[in-house]
Structures are given as structure tokens and as C-alpha cells.
Amino acid sequence: MTYNNDQSRFPEPGYADKQFVGQDGVEEKSIGPQQQFSPPPAHSADPQTVSQSVPPRFRISLNTTSNFFPPPSQLGAPPCFDRDNSPLYFGSVHFSRSVHPCKVGAHLKTHALVPYGGKEQTHSGSYDLLPFSPKTMELVRTSHGQIPPGKRPVEGGYEENGNKLYHAVAVVKGFRMPAKTGLHLRGANVGYGGKEVIVTTDYEIL
């Protein structure tokens, strides 16, 4: 476990290639979206840039190859709880050319699940956990991928083309879940029940 302090932004792409692990334990590179859920909008060629966006003060670097998970005393108050009332935290999974916000929990398979390609994927490889601090962070309600005026969102990652991704919280069937959002997504993408659900209104951005 390592801590990344006063990080100005996510590192440039260049991580070793990381794969997804499907629910059946088979690693998958990419999977098409489920028919009942809308896929994220097509990405533009030019990266979206928000000058007011800021990174977190620190993240805890972890890897799914280890069973280690930080004790609650190091994580602060969990921002969300799963359907079984287990704590859920903000996280970011590392891919070869992108970093995506995800949900992290000690009870989850490999500890990190990410909404991607229409499914909620179990991640294999390196990821970060972002402790939530109510004193220095706030969750602000928004819709359609917009950043509330005067607010500075916490960067949770970036797409392969450079589009920024931010941490979010979306409600699905009455449960608050960590999610990812961005100007190009026009909503919040959240993993729930093995699927990637798109919430376009009344979610929160960190």
C-alpha cells in the first residue's frame, strides 16, 4: 500500500495493460453494452478541459493481486453503502491508456468494480482508493454531466482521448452508489447488479 500525496493530476497513460475479470472469472478485454441500457455517448476528438477541476489531496494505491484492504480507521466515513450495508468508497481503476472512477469495498470481488461497456466489471490490477473527507469535500447535486457553477470537481480519471472523468454518487433502486461522470457522458454511469446503469438527472458530483 502506498499513499499519493498532493497529486496534481493522474499520471499520463502508460500503465501495464489491465484486464477485466467477468463474473465467471474469465478475463475480458471489452464487452458490448446491455441492450436495456444506453451506452455512453461517443467521445469527441478533442479532450474536454475544466480549469477549475482539482485532484484529491491523496489516494491509497492498491492492487487486486493482494488481498490487503486498508482498515476503516484509515478510510474515514464511507460515502455510500451497498445493498448488504457494507461500506463503499470512491476509487479509480488503472487501464493501459485510461483511468476510470469505480466503487471500492472490502466485501467486493477483488475489491474494485467499475462500470464499463454496459456491464459492471470486476477489475484486475492496480487501483486507487480515495478516502472521503466531509470537512474538505462535498457532494453537489447536478444533472446531464454538468459541473455546478463555482464548484471544483475532484478528478477521478480520464478517457483514452483525454476527456476528464469525475467521481459521483447516483441512486439506483434506493441505494446510493459511487459512480463516474463527465461533461461528455451527460450523466452518471454507475455499476449495479452486474450492469452499467446511466443516471442522467439528480445525481451528485464530488
Could you tell me the three cell numbers for 171? 441512486
d(CA 160, CA 203): 24
| Lowest-pLDDT choice from 49-58, 87-96, 101-110, 150-159 | 49-58
pLDDT at 108: 96
pLDDT digits (tens, 9 = 90+) for 142-172: 999 999 999 999 999 999 999 999 999 999 9
Please tell me whether residue 154 adopts helix, strand or coil conformation.
Answer: strand
pLDDT at 170: 98
pLDDT band at 22 (very low <50, low <70, confident <90, very high): very low
**16 in a structural domain:** no
E strand or H helix at 73: none
Of 127, 155, 137, nearest to 77 by C-alpha is 137
pTM of the model: 0.75
If you average pLDDT over residues 63-74, what whole number do you get? 93
pLDDT digits (tens, 9 = 90+) for 179-205: 999 999 999 999 999 999 999 999 999
Please state the separation of Cα 194 from the chain's center in Å.
Answer: 15
d(CA 11, CA 182): 18
d(CA 202, CA 122): 26
**112 in a structural domain:** yes
Which residues are registered as beta bridge partners of 179? 168
If you average pLDDT over residues 2-11, what whole number do you get? 44
28 pLDDT above the threshold of 50: no
Could you tell me the three cell numbers for 172? 439506483
Domain, as residue range, for 173? 60-205
If you average pLDDT over residues 16-33, what whole number do you get? 35
Tell me the longest C-alpha to C-alpha distance in the chain: 44
If you average pLDDT over residues 96-107, what whole number do you get? 97
If you average pLDDT over residues 128-149, what whole number do you get? 96
Higher pLDDT pick, 1 / 8: 1
d(CA 162, CA 153): 16
**32 in a structural domain:** no
Could you tell me the three cell numbers for 18? 489491465
**11 in a structural domain:** no
pLDDT at 57: 58
**29 in a structural domain:** no
**Number of domain units in the chain:** 1
Q: Are 21 and 122 in contact (CB under 8 A)?
A: yes
**19 in a structural domain:** no
pLDDT at 58: 84
**26 in a structural domain:** no
Q: Average pLDDT of the chain? A: 80
Higher pLDDT pick, 204 / 22: 204
Could you tell me the three cell numbers for 146? 454538468
**37 in a structural domain:** no
